[in-house]
Structure 1
């Protein structure tokens, strides 16, 4: 049994019993656990069998585990984004004779990855992007051409710059699924 699962079972037992289960008790035979449950039923569940109460404890523990894991995942993502350098990326789009320049912030492992991900994010059909070795991409058979440059934002300035631009978090899996990206950049 995982350490998190054990801790969640112990915590969940407090919702149904007058005394908490323990790690030692959880390592024993089911009959001993069921007897402990029988001896420590909380009044609202006194009409339930120890097996039913065990199932309620287990369900509650599972919900606690899922909550904790989701919170840890979110905290890890936030920490990773705090650890990744932030780049101010200038994306240039050319549609025929018309040129458009956009700026965005991308938290990525490198300037090049930030450039690529900014292009990916700006595209209306990222799965159809046609990448080239010059780190440009096009879509609709070269009707729209994208290029980008990136400059790392000094760590002390990131919070200030975030007031003007949202930060896009680099996602390698998304980028790898973009058109022919894998063929061009992962040889």
Structure 2
């Protein structure tokens, strides 16, 4: 099955891509307009490209739509991490992934977001199901691969960030 895999960053993807490639024809999709500031976005995009190159897995780089993303989360800036803002953020990114999957003829799409030990699988999967108009969202729970992702990204010297990317998390608004 052809799978468009939304990746939040190279390190998180490093823990699951090889396994998925043994079961599916995978293309990576880096679409993360939540990441701020722009130089942080570029570091993460570079790490995603390096991983793609090393594994020989194609990657599509989405547009950096930070202002559109800010409009989507407007009014939720002061929400706590893990709250409503995160759900809207997941939905924004997975809707973009679903659109790209339909546009390019992928029947299925998924995300690496569930690898984070601090992110709600339930919220991620709800966002993916809501976004899956015309293509099928495949819900994975990658939490057990988190340690593997830390080790692999370290072995491959991939840039590993210290926050989700959201400017409101970075600024401590939550």
Query: Could you say which structure has the larger radius of gyration?
Result: 1
TM-score (normalised: structure 2)? 0.23
Higher strand share: 1
Q: 1 or 2 for the larger relative contact order (CA 8 Å, sep ≥6)?
A: 2
TM-score (normalised: structure 1)? 0.22
